[in-house]
Amino acid sequence: MTDVSPNRLVRTACSALAVLALVACSKQESTSAASAPAAAATRVYVVGTDAAYAPFESQNEKGEIVGFDIDIVNAIAQKANLSVKFVNTPWEGIFNALNQGDRDLLVSSITITDEHKQTMDFTEPYFDAYQLIAVKAESKVARFDDLKPLKVGVQTGTTGDEAISKLQGKNSANIRRFESTPLALKELEAPARSR
């Protein structure tokens, strides 16, 4: 992973905002937003996020949505004199919420893929992420291919889900899909007899 200073992250993110594309905006929305710059200062942009992926986005004890992605969007909005409102949106419906116009943009640790680029516009990447495998300490798993015969938990619809589906087959009985990554990790922590 490349070391990037917080100041450089904010500068990169702010320059990306110049075209009003805060992370992931629907292609349809980005066209109309760019044609109405005067309305940008008074409009409140609704930001969808699945607040279950700390430290990027989560809810604090007061129920407020906080995290790295939230800080980035808030810094951009402040610099561009925009108002934003964050709405916790389950991952399974987050892209539909954007496409239907219920959300103006998304910030939720979204991986930029060719498929996503067909329906969304993205800022320049501001974080390099990699797929990782979480296993129990005594596990013999050393590389991705070691997962082929094993039961694997993933968050539904994520790039992790796509990766294991390619390895084991989309309908493999060994893939257990969860609503969130924390739920998948709780299952991993559970004693084997309760699974």
Average pLDDT value over all residues in the chain? 81
Co-location of 10 and 45 in the same domain = yes
* The predicted structure's pLDDT at residue 15: 37
Co-location of 184 and 101 in the same domain = no
Both tokens of 126, joined, read 């501001």
Co-location of 38 and 78 in the same domain = yes
Cβ 153 vs Cβ 173: under 8 Å: no
Q: What is the pLDDT of residues 144-192, one digit of tens each?
A: 999 999 999 998 888 899 899 999 999 999 999 998 888 888 988 887 6
Q: What is the pLDDT of residues 72-96, one digit of tens each?
A: 999 999 999 999 999 999 998 999 9
H/E stretch holding 189: helix 181-189
Co-location of 99 and 158 in the same domain = no
Q: How far is CA 57 from the centre of its chain?
A: 9
Which domain does 28 fall in, by range?
6-122
Distance CA 188, CA 185 (A): 5
Q: Is the pTM of this model over 0.85?
A: no
Which residues on adjacent β-strands are paired with residue 65? 59
Both tokens of 25, joined, read 């905006």
Residue 130 lies in a domain: no
Pairing label, strands 24-26, 120-122: antiparallel
Which backbone phi and psi does 127 adopt, to 5 degrees? -155, 130
Q: Which of 91, 122, 153 is the last residue of a domain?
A: 122
> To the nearest 10°, the Cα dihedral for 125, 85, 180, 21?
-20
Q: How many domains does the chain have?
A: 2
Number of helical H runs and strand E runs in the chain: 7, 9
Question: Which segments within the chain are labelled E, that is strand?
Answer: 24-26, 44-49, 58-59, 65-66, 83-88, 105-106, 120-122, 152-155, 175-178
* The predicted structure's pLDDT at residue 38: 54
CATH of the domain at 158: 3.40.190.10
